[in-house]
Amino acid sequence: MAAAHAEHLEHHGPPAPHYSSRVTPGVLGMFLFIASEIMLFGSFFTAYFFVRVVNGTPWPTPPYHLPVYVAFINTCILVTSSFSMHWGLQSIKRGNVWGLRAGLLLTFLMGLSFLITQAIEYSRIGFNTTNGAFATIFFCLTGLHGVHVFVGLSILGFMTIRAFRGHFSAEEHHGVEIGGIYWHFVDVMWIVVYLTVYIL
């Protein structure tokens, strides 16, 4: 640290910051961002609560059906992808670059198949956003989650590219760790969405 500091002074750069917490800024920032995201989902679930509990909208409103089993398979895919993500991160912590690459690639492909399944489900579901409050809440909750999967996939994509271009190592894998936290969040959120929208 001292050597790096001396370098900085030469460049008229900033003094080396003093870190007053054991948590690194990146990880803390991601956790706070996730807190914010949970509240965003919270507002959508509040809307769900008003429509389904307060207004007593039948769920699903006849004549519509929800493809519970397709969604269940989708759930399995997404949950599995969390494990492959974790495996990738553990690999790079041990310095296994190919483990990271395989893990990220696998996670990315599973996430992509989730999103494609979701898109196909939308096109075959037989109703659209204008078909009443049930349809509104269904599309908005799954859609909001879909957008998060898309963002998560983009992050995964960037990480994969970086992994294949040789950027991460046993010492330096912050990007994977932070992106991984987000991906786990997206997975956990899906379980909540799946339970409330499809099962309950």
Partner 1 sequence: MTAATLDPHEHHLTPSVRRGPVRRLLLGPGFIRAGWMFCLFGAIGFGLVVGFRWWGGWQPLFDMTPITLVSLLVAGPLGFLAGIGAFDYWTRYAIGSPTRPEDHSGHGARTWHDYFRVNTDHKVIGVQYLVTTIFFFIAGGFLAMLVRVQLARPGNHFFDPQTYNGLFSVHASLMIFLFVIPAFAGLANFVVPLMLGAPDMAFPRLNALSFWLLPIAGIMMLSSFLVPGGAFACGWTGYAPLCSTHQPLGAIFFNQGVQWAGASSIMTALNFLVTIITMRAPGLTFWRLPLLVWANFTTSLLVVIATPFIAGSQFFSMFDHVMHTAFFDPNNGGYPLGYQHIFWFYSHPAVYIMMLPGFGIMSEVISVFSRKPIFGYRLMALSLMAIVVLGFSVWAHHMFTSGMSSWLRVPMMVTTLLIAVPTGIKIFSWIATMWEGKLHFNTPMLFALGFLSMFVIGGLSGVMLGAVPIDIHVTDTYFIVAHLHYVLFGGSVFTIFAGIYYWFPKMTGRMYDERLGKLHFWLTFVGFNLTFFPMHLLGTEGMPRRVADYAPKFADLNMFISLASFGLGASVLVFLYNMITSWKNGPIAPANPWRALTLEWQVSSPPPIFNFDEIPQVVGSPYEYGVPGAQHAILAPSPTHAVEEVAAP
Residues in contact with partner 1 by the rule CB under 8 A: 3-4, 7-21, 23-25, 28-29, 32-33, 35-37, 39-40, 42-44, 46-47, 50-51, 54-55, 57, 61, 129-130, 132-136, 139-140, 158, 161-162, 164-165, 167, 175
Shortest CB 151 distance to partner 1, Å: 12
Q: Pick the closer one to partner 1 by CB: 23 or 116.
A: 23
Min separation Cβ 189 and partner 1, Å = 13
Residue with Cβ nearer partner 1 (56 or 69)? 56
Helix axes 25-49, 174-193, angle to 10 degrees: 10
Query: What are the φ and ψ backbone dihedral angles of 147, each rounded to 5 degrees?
Result: -60, -40
DSSP string, 64-91: ----HHHHHHHHHHHHHHHHHHHHHHHH
Q: How far is the CB of 108 from partner 1 (least distance, A)?
A: 14
In angstroms, what is the minimal distance from the CB of 16 to partner 1? 7
Comparing CB distances to partner 1, the nearer of 83 and 127 is 127
Cβ nearer to partner 1, comparing 77 with 157: 157
Amino acid letter, residue 34: I
Q: Count Cβ atoms below 10 Å from residue 47 Cβ, excluding itself.
A: 15
Distance CA 107, CA 164 (A): 14
Are the beta carbons of 16 and 1 closer than 8 angstroms? yes
